[in-house]
């Protein structure tokens, strides 16, 4: 079927984390609620605010202390990431009852292509959206919004710029007239893919609206930003040929993890202990995925970076693809020791890329790699049976270690 005749929906869950909390705790439904990384820490970030809290001006990303200043009656609750992941999967299953083309975009957003199945449900996209919306609310307690368009870009902007403002939470961009009348007048900062820095650059070129960006000569944008300029131009014009692919969720180009430390670490020994925890986690994930990587990256920053706000990031090509914790840790140590200037560290990240299948690796004739791999597998088996902290390297149990704390979290937040 021609691309222009596709029926694509972007399904977005309203204030997802907060919506899940209110669905599970009816006594909180009329109160201003915010899901906060750690409600006991004033500087902790707001991860989600319910619509009641948003009316006080509370926004995602601001500090809890700031949110409480705006709304002293705010109810801060700790996240339950395990529950959010489970409900996100439940919502995906609801969509999959109507189409097999469902692509998770994030934990609270999913694309779905109903082109091939629309005739089974009356042929009216808005009616199908209302049906699915009702099921999501009844089965999970979470309110959802639907943007409908001929491709993923149009569905996304229909949701972000129009559906979220309507009472029904549903909007269908039927044609080019809808696009130019409803999308083009919006400020360019509200367009998918435009952040604060890009907004300033576009304003400097006197491009203030999405329509003005769409009418800017493509050659001018490519000359300024290369392929990124063309991406912006295509989004502004609603051009997108990419399919809705359920396989997107299984593609992995990198295994990475980042940690924000509970305080600034000032000694090399403390920092190296955390690096060991991170490399242990990455190695375990690689082995679970049955893959190895040939490039290790290390990143770090203090309260404002080392001496610069962006911190530092280094990478190294490994001699051989690996999933061995000891080899990952050795590479991370070399990168850290070669870049650290002695300033306090607040954030650390480690990632493994250049991934390939573990079963095709070339065994080494030297060293004790197979012995190290056997040790890692034995530790993995113990953790699988008895939990992540059933066996941990001794230094990880020191005050600096974060292994126990991270075992209690998903994505840096409590399960």
Q: Show pLDDT as tens, one digit a residue, over the chain (415 residues).
A: 444 689 999 999 999 999 999 998 889 888 999 999 888 888 888 999 999 999 999 998 899 999 999 999 999 999 888 888 889 999 999 999 999 999 988 889 999 999 998 988 888 999 999 999 999 999 999 999 999 999 999 999 999 999 999 999 999 999 999 999 999 999 999 999 898 889 999 999 999 999 999 999 999 999 999 999 999 999 999 999 999 988 644 456 788 888 878 788 889 999 999 999 999 999 998 988 888 999 999 999 876 444 444 568 899 999 889 999 999 999 999 999 998 888 888 888 999 998 887 765 555 544 567 778 788 888 888 877 776 666 666 565 566 655 555 555 545 555 4
Q: Is 119 part of any domain?
A: yes
Same domain assignment for residues 261 and 389: yes
Q: Is 4 part of any domain?
A: yes
Cβ contacts of 388 within 8 Å, gap of 6 or more:
403, 407
Q: What burial letters (b/e) apply to 3-26, b meaning 16+ CB within 10 Å? A: eeebbbbbbbbbbbbbbbbbbeee
Provide the pLDDT for residue 247: 60
Cβ contacts of 185 within 8 Å, gap of 6 or more:
209, 210, 211
Same domain assignment for residues 29 and 164: yes
Q: Is 244 part of any domain?
A: no
Q: Is 50 part of any domain?
A: yes
- Residue-number span of the structural domain to which 193 is assigned: 184-236
Q: Is 164 part of any domain?
A: yes
Q: Domain ends where: 169, 196, 220? A: 169
215/197 Cα distance (integer angstroms): 21
Q: Is 246 part of any domain?
A: no
Domain count, the chain: 3
Same domain assignment for residues 279 and 231: no
β-partners of residue 295 are 317, 353
Provide the pLDDT for residue 401: 58
Provide the pLDDT for residue 337: 92
CATH label of the domain that carries residue 213 = 1.10.150.20
Q: Is 64 part of any domain?
A: yes
CATH label of the domain that carries residue 126 = 3.30.70.270
Same domain assignment for residues 83 and 18: yes
Same domain assignment for residues 61 and 36: yes
**How many helices (H) and strands (E) are present in the chain, helices listed first?**
15, 15
Same domain assignment for residues 195 and 154: no
CATH label of the domain that carries residue 379 = 3.30.1490.100
Same domain assignment for residues 220 and 164: no
Q: Establish whether 12 is an annotated binding residue.
A: yes
Q: Domain ends where: 142, 169, 196? A: 169
Q: Establish whether 108 is an annotated binding residue.
A: yes
Same domain assignment for residues 201 and 303: no
Same domain assignment for residues 30 and 162: yes
Catalytic site residues? 109
Same domain assignment for residues 213 and 130: no
Alpha carbon distances (Å) from 80 to 14, 35, 167, 394, 410 = 17, 9, 29, 29, 9
Same domain assignment for residues 225 and 259: no
Provide the pLDDT for residue 307: 43
Long-range pairs of 388-397 with CB within 8 A, sequence gap ≥ 24: 393/276, 393/280, 395/273, 395/276, 396/273, 396/276, 396/277, 396/280
Q: Is 122 part of any domain?
A: yes
Same domain assignment for residues 338 and 257: yes
């Amino acid at each position: 079927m021609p691309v222009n005749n596709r029926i694509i929906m972007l399904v977005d869950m309203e204030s997802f984390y907060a919506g899940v909390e209110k669905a599970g705790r009816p006594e909180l439904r009329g109160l201003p609620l915010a899901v906060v990384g750690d409600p006991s820490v004033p500087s902790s970030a707001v991860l989600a605010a319910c619509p009641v809290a948003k009316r006080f001006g509370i926004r995602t990303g601001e500090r809890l202390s700031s949110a409480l200043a705006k709304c002293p009656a705010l109810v801060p609750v700790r996240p339950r990431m395990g529950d959010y992941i489970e409900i996100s999967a439940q919502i995906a299953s609801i969509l999959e009852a109507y189409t097999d083309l469902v692509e998770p975009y994030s934990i609270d957003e999913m694309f779905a292509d109903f082109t091939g199945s629309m005739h089974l449900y009356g042929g009216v996209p808005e009616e199908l959206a209302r049906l699915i919306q009702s099921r999501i609310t009844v089965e999970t307690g979470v309110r959802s919004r639907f943007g409908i368009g001929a491709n993923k870009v149009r569905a996304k902007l229909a949701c972000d710029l129009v559906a979220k403002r309507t009472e029904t939470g549903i909007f269908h961009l039927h044609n080019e007239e809808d696009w130019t009348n409803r999308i083009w007048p919006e400020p360019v900062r509200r367009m998918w893919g435009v952040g604060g820095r890009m907004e300033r650059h576009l304003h400097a070129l006197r491009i203030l609206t999405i329509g003005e960006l769409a009418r800017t000569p493509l050659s001018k944008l490519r000359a300024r930003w290369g392929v990124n300029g063309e991406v912006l131009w295509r989004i502004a014009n609603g051009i997108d040929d990419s399919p809705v692919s359920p396989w997107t969720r299984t593609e992995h180009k990198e295994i990475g993890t980042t940690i924000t430390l509970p305080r600034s670490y000032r000694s090399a020994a403390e920092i190296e202990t955390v690096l060991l925890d991170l490399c242990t986690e990455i190695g375990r994930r690689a082995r679970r995925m049955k893959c190895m990587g040939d490039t290790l990256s290390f990143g770090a920053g203090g309260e404002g970076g080392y001496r610069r706000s962006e911190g530092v990031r280094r990478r190294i090509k490994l001699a051989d693809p690996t999933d061995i914790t000891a080899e990952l840790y050795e590479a991370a140590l070399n990168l850290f020791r070669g870049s650290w200037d002695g300033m306090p560290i607040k954030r650390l990240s480690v990632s493994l890329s250049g991934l390939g299948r573990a079963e095709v690796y070339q065994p080494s004739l030297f060293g004790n790699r197979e012995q190290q791999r056997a040790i890692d597998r034995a530790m993995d088996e113990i953790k699988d049976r008895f939990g992540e902290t059933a066996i941990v390297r001794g230094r990880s149990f020191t005050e600096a270690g974060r292994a126990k704390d991270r075992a209690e979290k998903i994505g840096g937040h409590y399960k």
